[in-house]
Amino acid sequence: MKIQVNHIGKMEGHTDFVAEIIKGDVKSAKIMTTEGARLIEGILVGRHFSEAPIITSRICGICPVIHKVCSVKALEKAMAISPSTQTVKLRKAMLMAQTIHSHALHLFFLSLPDFFDITNDLKFIGKYKKETECAIGVRQWALKAIEVIGGRAVHPIACEVGGFKTLPSRQELKELSQGYESALKDALCLVNMVTKVKLPQSKRKTTFIALKDGKTYPFYGGNIGILYPDGKSREIDEVKFTKHVKEIEEPYRAAKSAELDGEPFMVGALARININHSHLNPLAAGIFKSLKWKMPQYNVFHNITCQAIEVVHCVEELKALLEDLSVNLEDEISKSAKLNLIASANPLGKESWGSDAAEAPRGTLYHHYKISADGYLREAKVITPTVSFLKNLEADIAAYLPDIKNMPEKKRSLKIRALIRAYDPCISCATH
Amino acid sequence: MKYKKNKPRIAIVGLTSCEGCQFVILDQGKRFLDLLKEVQVDEFRLIEDDPEPASGYDICFIEGNPITKANIKLLQEMRKRSKFLIALGNCAALGGVWELKNYQDKNKTIRQVYKKTKVENPDIKEVDNFVKVDLTIPGCPINGDEFMELVWQLLKGRLPQIPQKPVCDECQKLGYECLLQKGEICLGPITLGGCKAVCLKSKQACWGCRGSFEGAQIENLMKYLLKEFPREKVYHVMEVFGARDSILKKLDIDTTPKKATKKVNTKK
């Protein structure tokens, strides 16, 4: 028996799905990406390092902020440039804002309608007007924050190696922070909707990966935290990411996939909550506790519940950062300008390399660069969250198929689409 | 949501891209919802998963670049079914960031990424190499305000014209610092305005993502830039958003993509 699901909509990028079931056993379950290859890692080679954050942010239109920040951080590590505390705060604020708007878009417009059996958002929007306003409301606040700090919401501009080309004013940041109450109300409205909906079950045990620092709920940096299905956990240094996580090429798709020491693994909101739930901000922690989950949570459909909790966490975090910056922001010159780095040689005067891991909305993202003495890129490597979880997604669908294989084709197709969408895959990112 | 009859039928279609221009449209929030009241969106994969394509569209927005054969087929199909076909954003209009590959040895470029997978690896070509384009909404990404304004004009049944003025116009009016005078390579003087000089606001020089405007003094700027900066650096800046070929073809300079710039810059 062959199961084919074509042109899966309401997700970033393009993919089909094909599975084969023989005598009741799932023989294969393949995500067949149909996105064209843009060869971004290839085209970067030979380009000046200062172009890398500009070019790699074009990997993805929904999460350009994290590509830009991760790229900048990896380049800074390569050239031993340390950003100021203020720069780090501004970057963190942008990451919070991006996670809010990406999650709110995904959980409300892309995934949730599936559990109301609605495939067209226009019908969903018409039926849930108040909730639509909440999703849009919290997104607008976050988009505005990226615009104020980064200069533009999609593909922000000001963030560069060593700092920011221009800084927002204290007044702008203060006005932004005043949007908190309303954004929080909207975020809680989304939580209310997500926690009330009846989600399907999937219980396959797996390994989770997320950044971990033992003190906070990290997005910006930390060690690689790993939680194994037997309950054991470990941490590895982020520079050793590719020692354990290996990219794999599959003949049937342009997107690569990855394995952790030979096994599939999960990244993203569900992984972060499983690894770092004890460090959520107070309101988000309260929501998490009220769910009374037995941890770790293995039902991948709860990825959207975790996203809703993270929206509240990030709203709280963004408010704190904005309030701090609106009082303490000082005029400062980016180190790129100070060291005249644009179109210049590597300040170390020799070939060097650097890598960085950060949490994108969809999970741990990794950038790596080698820079020549004259400032040009010799190597570029990007491992995106969707690449990381693609094998896990295939394994989860394979485990889910026996439950749904006897359903009428249309219904079964919707179930598969719903599971794929709950993962929040970004095929554009995966096929960079 | 019930549709009123006789509303203009819209398709928003993504080829290979980051989909950022589609997100700019969604990010219009309430303004986008207002637009939805006036049109029938038959095709917009980010908000619907209905398998049945409509037979015809009044306006079709094409975002992204036709990299795969399936992309090209879809593009040609959408052209046949649409009254107006609009190139949305830099990838469709100028080839996008991925066009950098055209200035490299593309067989070498692909080996940096894939060791064994067979992946389509054509030269990157703009959408208007495949189909007739009625209007281009430029930018990487598009500007939300400009998009909304152009769409409202399109809905009145006429093809709007973007005022043919340079980025410098808005840059000066808004009082931003001139980065060309400061000593950076800036393509503002020949690049089509309408972006509110958003990059210059953040002190990022214009790299021409909106393409050149009609009547731009390309020769003058090129003469100046080539006098002040090494040719490789000038070309590098023009290559990032696919502007190099479209700008230089307007001049009497040999513009065939050569690997020269890469070779020079990878030298030790």
Sign of CA pseudo-dihedral B9, B72, B207, B204 = positive
- What are the φ and ψ backbone dihedral angles of A257, each rounded to 5 degrees? -130, 180
Please name every residue paired with A366 in a beta bridge, in sequence order, or none if there are none. A357, A383
Number of domains in chain B: 2
Provide, rounded to the nearest whole percent, the portion of chain B with pLDDT above 90. Answer: 85
Cis peptide before A113 (omega within 30 of 0): no
Number of domains in chain A: 1
> Which of B155, B189, B214 is at the close of a domain?
B155
Q: Is A417 in CB contact (< 8 Å) with chain B?
A: yes
Flag whether B107 is in a domain: yes
CA atoms lying within 13 Å on the CB side of residue A324:
14
Cβ of A61 within 8 Å of Cβ of B23? The answer is yes
pLDDT at residue B263, rounded to an integer: 41
Cβ of B46 within 8 Å of Cβ of A10? The answer is yes
Q: Are B89 and B138 in contact (CB under 8 A)?
A: yes
Residue count (chain B): 268
Q: Are B32 and B152 in contact (CB under 8 A)?
A: no
Lowest mean pLDDT among A65-69, A132-136, B6-10: B6-10
SS3 readout for A240-277: HHHHHEEEECCCCCCCCEEEECCECEECCHHHHHHHHH
Largest CA distance in chain A: 69
Once rounded to an integer, what is the mean pLDDT over residues A162-175? 98
CATH code at position A87? 1.10.645.10
Q: What is the pLDDT of residues A32-58, one digit of tens each?
A: 999 999 999 999 999 999 999 999 999
Same domain, B114 and B69: yes
Could you tell me the pTM of the whole model? 0.95
Flag whether B62 is in a domain: yes
Q: Give me the residues of B, 154-183, that contact A with CB < 8 A.
A: none
Helices (H), B27-143: 30-38, 69-81, 90-94, 106-113
Once rounded to an integer, what is the mean pLDDT over residues A283-309? 98
CATH code at position B56? 3.40.50.700
H/E run at residue A28: strand A25-33
Q: What's the token pair of residue A143?
A: 């988009």
Rounded CA gap, A398 and A412, in Å? 13
Rounded CA gap, A34 and B38, in Å? 32
Q: Are A369 and A78 in contact (CB under 8 A)?
A: yes
Flag whether B30 is in a domain: yes
Question: A347-353 — which CB contacts under 8 Å span 24+ positions?
Answer: A347/A79, A347/A80, A347/A81, A348/A79, A348/A80, A348/A373, A349/A373, A351/A378, A352/A78, A352/A79, A352/A80, A353/A78, A353/A379
Please name every residue paired with A3 in a beta bridge, in sequence order, or none if there are none. A19
> If you measure CA to CA, which chain B residue comes closest to A65?
B20
pLDDT at residue B254, rounded to an integer: 53
Q: Is A45 in CB contact (< 8 Å) with chain B?
A: yes
* Chain A residues touching residue B184 (CB < 8 angstroms): 342
Q: Are strands A377-383 and B82-88 parallel, antiparallel or unpaired?
A: unpaired
Question: A20-28 — which CB contacts under 8 Å span 24+ positions?
Answer: A21/A401, A21/A405, A24/A402, A26/A398, A26/A399, A26/A401, A26/A402, A28/A398
Provide, rounded to the nearest whole percent, the portion of chain A with pLDDT above 70. Answer: 100
Helices (H), A329-431: 335-338, 385-404, 409-422, 427-430
Distance from CA of B115 to the nearest CA of A (A): 8
Extended strands (E) in A53-197: 159-160, 163-164
Which one of B31, B33, B113, B229 would you mutate to disrupt binding with A, by most A Cβ within 10 Å of its Cβ? Answer: B113
Flag whether B31 is in a domain: yes
Cβ of B117 within 8 Å of Cβ of A48? The answer is no
Q: What is the pLDDT of residues A213-240, one digit of tens each?
A: 999 999 999 999 999 999 999 999 999 9
* Domain, as residue range, for A391: 2-430
> Which of B103, B135, B155 is at the close of a domain?
B155
What region does A198 belong to: left with phi over 0, alpha with psi -120 to 50, or beta?
beta
Q: What's the token pair of residue B169?
A: 């116009």
Q: What is the crossing angle of helices A303-328 and A85-104, to 10°?
A: 150
The b-or-e profile of B212-230 (16+ CB within 10 A means b, else e) is: bbeebebeebbeebeeebe
B151: number of Cβ within 10 Å = 22
Place of tokens 């939580």: A191
SS3 A399: helix
Q: Is B36 in CB contact (< 8 Å) with chain A?
A: yes
Flag whether B2 is in a domain: no
Cβ-proximal residues to A10 (8 Å cutoff; 6+ apart), any chain: A109, A110, A111, A113, A119, A121, A421, B45, B46, B47, B48, B49
* Domain, as residue range, for B26: 9-155
Q: Is A54 in CB contact (< 8 Å) with chain B?
A: yes
Q: Are A77 and A96 in contact (CB under 8 A)?
A: no
Cβ-proximal residues to A289 (8 Å cutoff; 6+ apart), any chain: none
Flag whether B78 is in a domain: yes
Mean pLDDT computed over every residue of chain A:
96
> Which of B134, B155, B176 is at the close of a domain?
B155
Cβ of B114 within 8 Å of Cβ of A37? The answer is yes
Rounded CA gap, A245 and A247, in Å? 7
Q: What is the crossing angle of helices A303-328 and A269-276, to 10°?
A: 70
Same domain, B139 and B34: yes
Distances (CA, A) of A117 to A124, A140, A197, A418: 10, 27, 12, 10
Once rounded to an integer, what is the mean pLDDT over residues A344-348? 94
Flag whether B94 is in a domain: yes
Distance from CA of B153 to the nearest CA of A (A): 23
Reported as a pLDDT band with limits 50, 70 and 90, residue B5 is: low
SS3 readout for A279-304: HCCHHHHHHHHHCCCCCCCCCHHHHH
Rounded CA gap, A113 and A304, in Å? 12
Cis peptide before B230 (omega within 30 of 0): no
Reported as a pLDDT band with limits 50, 70 and 90, residue A242 is: very high
Residue A372 pLDDT > 90, yes or no? Answer: yes
Residue B259 pLDDT > 50, yes or no? Answer: no
Cβ of B100 within 8 Å of Cβ of A47? The answer is yes
Reported as a pLDDT band with limits 50, 70 and 90, residue B252 is: low
Q: Are A360 and A199 in contact (CB under 8 A)?
A: no
Q: Is A151 in CB contact (< 8 Å) with chain B?
A: yes
Reported as a pLDDT band with limits 50, 70 and 90, residue B251 is: confident
Same domain, B116 and B229: no
Cβ of B268 within 8 Å of Cβ of A10? The answer is no
Q: What is the pLDDT of residues B90-100, one digit of tens each?
A: 999 999 999 99
